[in-house]
Amino acid sequence: MTETTAAKAKGPFDGLLVIDLTHVLNGPFGTTILTDLGARTINAEISQKGCTSG
């Protein structure tokens, strides 16, 4: 598959918008899969050092 046909290829989730509010491993991994399948994603990150900071 050439670069131009890859850009035109549509996945099964083409047109779907995913808002990712997750911060633990499973959430971002699932968002990556949805993006690979054609979904557009918006990633909202918390401005903390990590999920264990408090």
Is residue 49 situated within a structural domain? no
If you average pLDDT over residues 25-41, what whole number do you get?
92
Q: What is the pLDDT of residues 17-31, one digit of tens each?
A: 999 998 888 888 999
Amino acid type, 17: L
Is residue 20 situated within a structural domain? yes
DSSP classification of residue 41: E
Residue 15, pLDDT score:
92
Residue 28, pLDDT score:
87
Residue 34, pLDDT score:
94
**What is the C-alpha separation between 28 and 8, in angstroms, rounded?**
25
**Domain count of the fold of the chain:** 1
Is residue 54 situated within a structural domain? no
Global pTM value: 0.65
**What is the C-alpha separation between 10 and 1, in angstroms, rounded?**
13
Is residue 24 situated within a structural domain? yes
Q: Is residue 47 predicted with pLDDT exceeding 60?
A: yes
Residue 35, pLDDT score:
94
Domain range enclosing 38: 10-43
